[in-house]
Amino acid sequence: MTDREAERRRTRAERYHLVAEIEAMLDGPATYLAVVFAVILAAELILQAQGSSVPPVLGWIQLAIWGIFVVHFLLGITISPDRLRYLRRNWLTAISLVLPFLRAFRALRAVRVLRATNSVRVAAGFNRLARSLRGVLAWSRAGYAAALAATSALLGSAALLMFEAEAPDSQITDYGEALWWATATLTTVGAASEPVTIGGRIVGLVLMFGGLVLFGYVAGVVAAVLFGTSRGVGAGTSATPDR
């Protein structure tokens, strides 16, 4: 290996380390901003679905948080030694950062396109918040699972209401019913009402799979705790000398 190649590898490793340090440093603030963004996004979708006007302050707050996310993304992709790899890891975030520009076009006034755009915003918001929570709650797997379940219920119910609120024969016409349906689906209990629109059924299908994944994750955490406890008890028993 030549000196130039060694220097190049060292520089590459240092840049990867710098990106990791920046992301670790911004984990806390990014999580708070992601939570605020998710709550405001859910509120916006709920108000739109129920035919109410969205307060302009919500849009300004979203725009400010979006600007911070843009700076964070540009900083990461600029410092990263492998920009294509960074973009592949954050492709959903990149799409969500472009959406505010796309919403300015007249074509997005169509209801179907607007719903599709909002669906991508929901997916991107969930993805960002889930990644932030994973860093902040790395010390508590149970806490991480609970946070994911709450996030899924919040955004999933808002997306469900967006499709179902004005659909004929739909029983999910208010946020309370949508939240109940999403929570019952995530907990694998099931609800009496069913989505009637294609978009609502897709959201419901995602929530069903999400509930199964969360259930499996929680079962794994419980099994790990019980297995660790039993191992500790067994080790303590075997270590006790006979009398």
pLDDT tens digits along 152-201: 899 999 999 999 988 888 888 889 889 999 998 888 777 777 889 999 89
User: What are the pLDDT tens digits along the chain (243 aa)?
Assistant: 576 777 777 777 777 777 677 666 766 677 888 888 889 889 988 988 888 888 888 888 888 888 888 887 888 788 777 778 878 877 777 777 776 555 544 444 555 666 777 787 888 788 878 877 777 776 777 788 888 888 889 999 999 999 998 888 888 888 988 999 999 888 877 777 788 999 989 999 998 888 888 888 777 777 777 776 545 444 444 444 444
**Per-residue pLDDT at 106:** 44
Query: Largest alpha-carbon pair distance within the chain?
Result: 85
Which pLDDT does position 166 carry in this prediction?
A: 85
Is the separation of the CB atoms in 157 and 122 below 8 Å?
A: no
Q: How far apart are the first and last CA of the chain?
A: 64
For helices 91-102 and 56-79, angle between their N-to-C axes, nearest 10 degrees: 140
Region 139-234: CATH code: 1.10.287.70
Task: Provide the 10 A C-beta neighbour count for residue 124.
Answer: 21
CA dihedral 59, 36, 159, 104 (to 10 degrees): 30
Neighbours of 18 (CB within 10 A): 14
> pTM surpassing 0.85?
no
Place of tokens 């006979």: 242
Contacts of 167 (CB under 8 A, 6+ apart): 196, 197, 200
Report the distance separating Cα 226 and Cα 241, nearest Å.
25
